[in-house]
Structure 1
């Protein structure tokens, strides 16, 4: 049993994958905005947005997880997270809900740069299992 159980998470969808981010890492969730392109940037960097006077870099969580781009929908959101004293926007397909998990199991891919390494743990809610994203690995890798 982990002390992470009492923490709250935002559950979200990226393609067919359901993931979660600790709520304390999230600054805000906003609807899709017009994104200004940054020439010659990496493919996962979609550009920047002006968020109440602050320039925020926006990245595709799909691309960061190795998935291809999809057209944005009415449910597409930008999750603005705090990362190394900066704000970074992550484009996700859908935000589901705020939740807690009955149990948090450690992720199996802790030492490798594998797809599993992007998860800090697996949250269990009944029969459902949801990967809890490790922002340091996703944004710093």
Structure 2
């Protein structure tokens, strides 16, 4: 767990809850844009976007985690992640900040009724707020 303290994290919001992603896994953050739907794709695959000439699949993390679906608002963002030498977009309700944690605790079996397998730990901020740290490889390799 201590090695996780060395990272900075991008804190995002999904359905009113905060989640963190290691900043080194984030390629860039873009405003929500039109997503081209793909027929016969997995339920969590929202579609694809064109990112400066590169086709990037966009997944709906809300569906993977069993949360209420997102609403496209002014705050909605697509976080482009680096995963297995590819780029993958994830939809978040909003991006809040970049932070470091003062402590990181092991993940319990469930976090807000979501399987703990999707999280690396629970980060604790300087002011005592607890934020679940997403395990990107588990999220993006999840079978649904």
Query: Which range, TM-score by smaller chain?
Result: over 0.9
- For residues 8 and 88 of structure 1, the distance between their equivalents in structure 2, rounded to whole angstroms, comes to 20
1:131 aligned partner: 132
The offset of 1:34, in angstroms, is: 0.9
Alignment gaps of 5+ in structure 1: none
Q: Which residue of 2 aligns with 1:14?
A: 14
SS at 1:123 equivalent: strand
Instruction: Specify the alignment match of 2:118 in structure 1.
Output: 118
**CA distance in 1: counterparts of 2:59 and 2:3, whole angstroms:** 30
Local SS of the residue matching 2:5: helix
Distance, in Å, in 2 between the alignment partners of 1:70 and 1:26 is 20
Which residue number corresponds to residue 101 of structure 2? 101
Matched, 1:81 2:81: yes
Deviations 1:41-78 (CA, angstroms, capped at 9, x unpaired)? 12211100000110000011111111131321100000
Cα deviation, residue 119, structure 1: 0.5
Q: Number of aligned residue pairs: give it.
A: 138
Aligned to 2:5: 5
TM, length-normalised to structure 2: 0.91
2:98 is the counterpart of 1:91: no
Deviation of 1:109 after TM superposition, in Å, equals 3.3
1:47 matched to which residue of 2?
47
Whole-Å separation in 1 of the counterparts to 2:70 and 2:88: 20
**Following superposition, which runs of at least 4 residues in structure 1 exceed 2 angstroms of deviation?**
none
What are the ranges of 5 or more consecutive residues in structure 2 without an aligned counterpart? none
